[in-house]
Amino acid sequence: MSSTPLLLEIKDLHVHFAVYGGRLKVLDGVNFVMQSGERVGLVGEAGCGKTTTMKAILQVLPTPPAVIPCGEIYFKGRDLLKMNPNQLQQIRGRGISMIFQDPTAALNPVFTVGQQLKAVIKHSAVRGRPLSADEVHQRAIQSLQEVALADPERLLKSYPIQLSGGMRQRVCIGMALATNPELLIADEPGTSLDVTIQDQVLRLLHRLVKEKNTSVILITHTLGIVREMTDRVYVMYAGNIVEVAPTAGLFSRPMHPYTIGLMQAVPRLTGGGVSDGIPGRIPNYLQPPTGCRFHPRCPHVMDICRQEKPASYQVDDDHYVACFLYRGEEGKGS
Partner 1 sequence: MSLGRFLVRRIVHSIFVLLGLSIVIFVIARVMPGDPARMALGARAPQWVVDRVREQMHLNEPLTVQYVYWLRGALRADFGLSLVTQRPVTADIQEFFPASLELVLLAGLFSAVGGIGLGVLSARYKDTWIDNVVRVISYAGIVTPSFIFAILFVLLFGFVLKWFPVIGRLSEHTVAPPTVTGMVTVDALLAGRLDAFADALRHMVLPALALAMGSIAQEARITRSSMADNLGKDYIAAARALGISERVVMGRFLLKPSLIPTVSILGLDIAATLGVAFLVELIFNWPGLARYGMTSMLHKDLNAISAVILVLGVAFVTVNILVDIIVAYLDPRIRLRAARSE
Number of shown-chain residues binding partner 1 (CB under 8 A) = 39
Q: Tell whether residue 123 is a contact of partner 1 (CB under 8 A).
A: yes
Q: Which of 233, 215, 216, 237 is nearest to 224 (CA)?
A: 233
Q: Tell whether residue 222 is a contact of partner 1 (CB under 8 A).
A: no
130 vs 277, beta carbon nearer partner 1: 130
85 vs 328, beta carbon nearer partner 1: 85
Cis preceding-peptide flag for 64 (omega within 30 of 0): yes
The single residue among 17, 50, 52, 97 that binds partner 1, judged by CB under 8 A, is 97
CA-CA distance, 281 to 158, in Å (whole number)? 42
Helix (H) or strand (E) holding 218: strand 215-220
56 vs 236, beta carbon nearer partner 1: 56
Residues in the chain: 334
Q: Tell whether residue 128 is a contact of partner 1 (CB under 8 A).
A: no
182 vs 243, beta carbon nearer partner 1: 182
102 vs 318, beta carbon nearer partner 1: 102
The single residue among 176, 218, 321, 323 that binds partner 1, judged by CB under 8 A, is 176
Q: Tell whether residue 60 is a contact of partner 1 (CB under 8 A).
A: yes
Characterize the bridge pairing of strands 183-187 and 319-321. Answer: unpaired
Q: Please report which residue ranges of 178-241 form alpha helices under DSSP H.
A: 195-212, 223-229
Q: Which stretch binds partner 1 (CB under 8 A): 60-68, 274-282, 303-311, 321-329?
A: 60-68
119 vs 263, beta carbon nearer partner 1: 119
Single-letter amino acid code for the residue at 92: R
CA-CA distance, 92 to 144, in Å (whole number)? 20
What 160-167 contacts at long range (C-beta under 8 Å, 24+ apart), as own/partner pairs, is 160/104, 160/107, 160/108, 160/109, 160/113, 161/109, 163/113, 165/103, 165/104, 165/192, 165/193, 165/197, 166/193, 166/197, 166/200, 166/201
The single residue among 162, 287, 290, 307 that binds partner 1, judged by CB under 8 A, is 162
Q: How far is the CB of 55 from partner 1 (least distance, A)?
A: 7
Give the footprint of partner 1 on this chain (CB under 8 A).
Answer: 55, 58, 60-62, 64, 85, 89-94, 96-98, 100-102, 105-112, 116, 119-120, 123-124, 159, 161-162, 172, 175-176, 179
